[in-house]
């Protein structure tokens, strides 16, 4: 019998180690999936590299511990590669999560339910779908452990190297657009890096419409030509179908799979297996795809690298963008981080030489960026007393009408869905607050409901004020649903459409709505942030930000960076057609036109905006010039949460050497923007360190000590550490 170290998803804060020991009749290689007993249940685990220095387990009296036996190994699947195990290990260590939790959470949920017989059926089904011969059925009598491991490694190598797709013939090869001089220069730098001993991480700073997607396609083409695989990450699911179509059209003879939460469990498992076995040449996906095992990985692309969606916000709070950089270094694959508005962290790395900066400052076809017009809302005519101001200032409304008359499209951006953020009573000042959260319930007129967008609590709109009985309940503020209604009234005969999370809930509706926009069946498109990035609307010549000020003045120091990126991305939807670029415009309605952000936006000057923001952050000691971790907790009572955080602060200080006490700053516990969600009070405490190694050393000894601290503070429901937090 052999002793195996197995990573399993143990209960959080159970005090168990990263791996558990089991005994098995065969010495299965690290990375092999096994089914093992855990308590009274059976679960999936991953054989892990054993720590040779770890002592043998023994009972309290010194007698050897009787190990539980592995139930079954999923031997029909090649082991997960060492690079995958190294990536998972780094993720767990850096983001302060259990190894088994990370390893199992990034595997397809369907895979965790299968035994070896069930997995073999899925593999045969996959081979049939790909036109491959089914794999030979496993023999009932196993070979020796050494022979079994050798055969598994041999099969994995064959599957990783053998191409299983039909090569593209000259007749099938799609027409490729000619490259601009900037694209040609960028690609020359990228392709040369494929042969480097240690490929670089490239920050591709290209303005909207400069042809970054074509660069991705050509770089992937080069990776495929040398027998490698390409991994392309996008921030959101709604960008995956259109990018998938672009890649499918360019590589008709290649196997392309996607990985995102919009797939069914069976689809996700099939695509994951195709990638792991080396059948898939191209993998497109959202942040979870960074953990997809790829035996021939040769290129990683992170599109819109600045997007906050790459940061997981529950469980293991990892950044897929940062892990992409680490994985590229680990597997010696070039990494391309693309954006028109890079994150300030990536931009700083490019300025210091840590990343290689590649620039594309011109749009394809020599089209110009849209002219930016700032409307000072303080100078606009005021409506009669008791009436709400119009959604669009008169000059902007006239500009939209002009576009309609010319047969062109307009995009109105308002990052707030629903009809109105709140309902209120004009008699007693009642407002539609959520009874379970410190937030308002949003009024949705279409189904006459009040919905909390934090906990999901929904009720029908009351006929009268619940407090005083007044029937005159009025909406306050404006959401996309209300803006759509107002535009239909202000623009009679215009074809107005809305795209947000409410109108795209059903499968296929987003694709249908986008197709209508591309076909010219929409005159005015109203949408949230989901329509401001990545979309190539050729007929849009006017983009308007209806109310951006609400995103500017918050307690988060990243608010200006996020707003500038959003507005630049939104403005980039206008003038994508070179012929219409000269008459394309972006309008911004604001009450603070003197803000430096709008001055930089008017000139499309990201460099100046980034320089000013980095100067401010350097003076304030904020990232990227310092490193942060955020300890969050939830409790039934606010005082309990605050006491826990204060005790955690005292514990952390006691763990620091005396000479480092002044280097690490612990901020006072404070409530977040929404302090109460689903009945639980939330509090958070920020920890700031001057260097990443110093902060990591503290977290490594602090995190394991927190479970015992929690037991001393009854009423704490949950707590978590967020390393490199984006939302503060």
For residue range 246-288, list pLDDT tens digits in order: 999 999 989 999 999 889 999 999 999 999 999 999 999 999 9
Q: What number is the average pLDDT over the span 623-644?
A: 95
Asked if 292 contacts 272 with a C-beta cutoff of 8 angstroms, the reply is yes
Answer yes or no: is 468 a known binding residue: yes
Residues with Cβ within 8 Å of 208's Cβ and at least 6 positions away in sequence, in order, are 340, 363, 369, 568, 569, 571, 572, 573
Q: How far is CA 295 from the centre of its chain?
A: 24
Q: State the pLDDT confidence band at 243, using cuts at 50, 70 and 90.
A: confident
Alpha helix ranges (H) inside 98-167? 99-105, 116-130, 145-161
Say how many CA atoms lie within 13 Å of 628 toward its Cβ.
20
Confidence at residue 133, expressed as pLDDT on a 0 to 100 scale: 58
Higher pLDDT, 59 or 649: 649
Q: Which domains does the chain have, with CATH numbers?
A: 2-161 (3.40.1440.60), 181-365 (3.40.50.300), 367-417+496-618 (3.40.50.300), 421-476 (no CATH), 627-723 (3.30.70.260)
What stretches of 516-670 adopt beta strand conformation (E)?
A: 524-527, 540-545, 585-590, 627-635, 665-666
d(CA 431, CA 213): 46
3-class secondary structure, 169: coil
3-class secondary structure, 684: strand
Exposure of 145 by Cβ count < 10 A (0-12 exposed, 13-18 middle, 19+ buried)?
Answer: middle
Q: State the pLDDT confidence band at 148, using cuts at 50, 70 and 90.
A: very low
Q: What number is the average pLDDT over the span 409-416?
A: 94
Answer yes or no: is 85 a known binding residue: no
Q: State the pLDDT confidence band at 136, using cuts at 50, 70 and 90.
A: low
Which one, of 211, 275, 206, 213, lies nearest residue 243 by Cα?
Answer: 213
d(CA 617, CA 638): 31
d(CA 234, CA 325): 15
Confidence at residue 176, expressed as pLDDT on a 0 to 100 scale: 87
Asked if 30 contacts 82 with a C-beta cutoff of 8 angstroms, the reply is yes
Measured torsion, CA atoms of residues 270, 272, 275, 281, in degrees rounded to the nearest 10? 70
Paired with 233 in beta bridges are 285, 302
Confidence at residue 508, expressed as pLDDT on a 0 to 100 scale: 81
Answer yes or no: is 434 a known binding residue: yes
No. of helices (H) and no. of strands (E), the chain: 19, 28
Confidence at residue 30, expressed as pLDDT on a 0 to 100 scale: 96
In order, the DSSP letters of 659-673 are GGTTTSEEPPPB--S
Answer yes or no: is 455 a known binding residue: yes
Size of the chain, expressed as the number of residues it contains: 728
d(CA 613, CA 595): 13
Residues with Cβ within 8 Å of 382's Cβ and at least 6 positions away in sequence, in order, are 389
Which one, of 683, 682, 673, 679, lies nearest residue 646 by Cα?
Answer: 683
d(CA 631, CA 710): 13
- Extract the tokens encoding 64: 């050897």
Q: State the pLDDT confidence band at 157, using cuts at 50, 70 and 90.
A: very low
d(CA 46, CA 80): 9
Three-point CA angle 269, 274, 279, nearest 5°: 175
Asked if 79 contacts 31 with a C-beta cutoff of 8 angstroms, the reply is yes
Which one, of 98, 39, 49, 43, lies nearest residue 74 by Cα?
Answer: 43
Confidence at residue 56, expressed as pLDDT on a 0 to 100 scale: 56
Q: What does each C-alpha distance from 428 to 312, 423, 443, 502, 526 come to in angstroms?
A: 42, 12, 19, 31, 34
Across 130-139, 160-169, 184-193, least confident range: 160-169
For residue range 331-348, list pLDDT tens digits in order: 999 999 999 999 999 999
Answer yes or no: is 437 a known binding residue: yes
Q: What number is the average pLDDT over the span 137-148?
A: 49
Higher pLDDT, 53 or 81: 81
Measured torsion, CA atoms of residues 611, 616, 620, 622, in degrees rounded to the nearest 10? -40
Higher pLDDT, 552 or 204: 204
- Extract the tokens encoding 607: 């460099």
For residue range 673-716, list pLDDT tens digits in order: 899 999 999 999 999 999 999 999 999 999 999 988 888 888 89
Asked if 72 contacts 697 with a C-beta cutoff of 8 angstroms, the reply is no
- Extract the tokens encoding 338: 């693309």
Asked if 448 contacts 441 with a C-beta cutoff of 8 angstroms, the reply is no
d(CA 97, CA 93): 7
Answer yes or no: is 633 a known binding residue: no
Answer yes or no: is 201 a known binding residue: no
Q: What number is the average pLDDT over the span 521-531?
A: 93
Exposure of 124 by Cβ count < 10 A (0-12 exposed, 13-18 middle, 19+ buried)?
Answer: middle
Could you give the angle at which helices 638-655 and 692-702 cross, rounded to 10 degrees?
Answer: 110
Q: State the pLDDT confidence band at 510, using cuts at 50, 70 and 90.
A: confident
d(CA 717, CA 719): 7
Which one, of 33, 56, 178, lies nearest residue 110 by Cα?
Answer: 33
Answer yes or no: is 292 a known binding residue: no
Q: Measured in Å, how far apart are the chain's first and last C-alpha atoms?
A: 51
d(CA 101, CA 18): 9
Confidence at residue 138, expressed as pLDDT on a 0 to 100 scale: 55
Q: What is the value of pTM for the model shown?
A: 0.89
Q: What number is the average pLDDT over the span 163-188?
A: 72
- Extract the tokens encoding 505: 């809930």
Q: What does the buried/exposed string (b/e) look like for 438-468 if buried means 16 or more CB atoms within 10 Å of the residue's CB?
A: bbbbbbbeeeebbbbbbbebeeeeeeebeee
Q: Which helix (H) or strand (E) holds 46?
A: strand 41-48
Residue that the structure tokens 């000059």 belong to: 395
HEC letters along 574-595: CCCCHHHHHHCEEEEEECCCCC
State yes or no: pLDDT of 109 exceeds 70: yes
State yes or no: pLDDT of 159 exceeds 60: no
Across 478-482, 536-540, 592-596, 723-727, least confident range: 536-540
């Amino acid at each position: 019998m052999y002793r195996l170290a197995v990573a399993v998803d143990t209960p959080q804060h159970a005090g168990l180690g990263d791996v558990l020991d089991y005994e098995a009749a065969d010495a299965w290689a690290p990375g092999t999936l096994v089914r093992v007993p855990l308590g009274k249940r059976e679960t999936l685990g991953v054989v892990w590299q054993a720590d040779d220095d770890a002592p043998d387990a023994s009972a309290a009296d010194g007698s050897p511990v009787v190990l539980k036996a592995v139930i079954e190994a999923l031997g029909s699947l090649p082991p997960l590669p060492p690079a995958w195990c190294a990536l998972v290990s780094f993720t767990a260590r850096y983001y302060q999560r259990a190894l088994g939790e990370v390893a199992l959470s990034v595997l397809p949920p369907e895979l965790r339910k299968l035994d070896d017989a069930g997995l073999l059926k899925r593999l045969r089904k996959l081979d049939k779908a790909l036109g491959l011969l089914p794999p030979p059925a496993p023999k009932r009598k196993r070979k020796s452990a050494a022979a079994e491991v050798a055969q598994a490694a041999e099969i994995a190598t064959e599957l990783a190297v053998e191409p299983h797709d039909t090569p593209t013939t000259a007749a099938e090869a799609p027409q490729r657009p000619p490259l601009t001089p900037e694209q040609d220069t960028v690609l020359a730098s990228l392709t040369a890096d494929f042969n480097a001993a240690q490929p670089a991480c490239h920050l591709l700073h290209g303005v909207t419409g400069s042809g970054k997607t074509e660069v991705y396609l050509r770089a992937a083409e080069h990776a495929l030509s040398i027998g490698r695989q390409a991994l392309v990450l996008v921030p959101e699911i709604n960008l995956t179908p259109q990018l998938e179509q672009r890649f499918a059209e360019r590589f008709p003879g290649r196997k392309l799979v996607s990985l995102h939460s919009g797939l069914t469990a069976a689809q996700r498992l099939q695509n994951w297996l195709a990638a792991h076995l080396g059948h898939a040449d191209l993998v497109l996906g959202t942040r979870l795809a960074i953990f997809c095992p790829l035996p021939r990985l040769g290129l990683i692309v992170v599109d819109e690298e600045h997007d906050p969606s790459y940061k997981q916000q529950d469980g293991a709070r990892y950044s897929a963008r940062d892990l992409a950089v680490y994985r590229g270094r680990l597997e010696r694959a070039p990494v391309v981080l693309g954006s028109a508005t890079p994150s300030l962290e990536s931009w700083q790395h490019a300025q210091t030489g840590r990343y290689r900066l590649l620039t594309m400052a011109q749009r394809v076809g020599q089209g110009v960026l849209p002219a930016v017009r700032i409307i000072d809302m303080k100078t606009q005519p005021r409506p009669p007393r008791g009436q709400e101001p119009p959604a669009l200032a008169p000059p902007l409304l006239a500009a939209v009408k002009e576009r309609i008359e010319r047969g062109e499209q307009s995009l109105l951006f308002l990052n707030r869905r629903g009809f109105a953020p709140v309902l209120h009573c004009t008699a007693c000042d009642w407002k539609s607050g959520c009874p379970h959260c410190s937030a308002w319930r949003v009024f949705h007129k279409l189904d006459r409901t009040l919905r909390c967008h934090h906990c999901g609590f929904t009720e029908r709109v009351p006929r009268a004020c619940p407090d005083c009985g007044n029937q005159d309940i009025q909406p306050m503020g404006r959401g996309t649903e209300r803006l759509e209604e107002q535009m239909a009234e202000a623009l009679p005969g215009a074809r107005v459409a809305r795209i947000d999370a409410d109108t795209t809930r059903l499968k296929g509706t987003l694709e249908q709505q986008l197709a209508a926009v591309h076909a010219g069946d929409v005159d005015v498109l109203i949408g949230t942030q989901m329509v401001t990035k990545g979309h190539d609307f050729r007929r849009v010549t006017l983009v308007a930000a209806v109310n951006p000020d609400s995103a500017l003045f918050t307690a988060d120091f990243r608010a200006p960076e996020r707003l500038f990126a959003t507005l630049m991305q939104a403005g980039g939807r206008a003038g994508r057609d070179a012929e219409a670029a000269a008459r394309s415009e972006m309008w911004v309605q604001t009450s603070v036109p003197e803000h430096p952000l709008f001055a930089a936006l008017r000139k499309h000057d990201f460099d100046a905006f980034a320089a000013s923001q980095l100067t401010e952050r350097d003076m304030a000691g904020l990232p990227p010039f310092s490193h942060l971790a955020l300890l969050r907790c939830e409790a039934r009572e606010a005082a309990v949460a605050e006491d826990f955080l204060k005790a955690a602060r005292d514990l952390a200080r006691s763990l620091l050497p005396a000479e480092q006490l002044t280097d690490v700053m612990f901020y006072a516990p404070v409530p977040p923007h929404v302090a109460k969600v689903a009945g639980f009070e939330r509090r958070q405490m920020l920890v700031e360190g001057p260097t990443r190694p110093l902060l990591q050393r503290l977290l490594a000894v602090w995190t394991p000590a927190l479970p015992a601290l929690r037991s001393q503070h009854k009423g704490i429901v949950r707590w978590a550490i967020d390393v490199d937090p984006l939302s503060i």
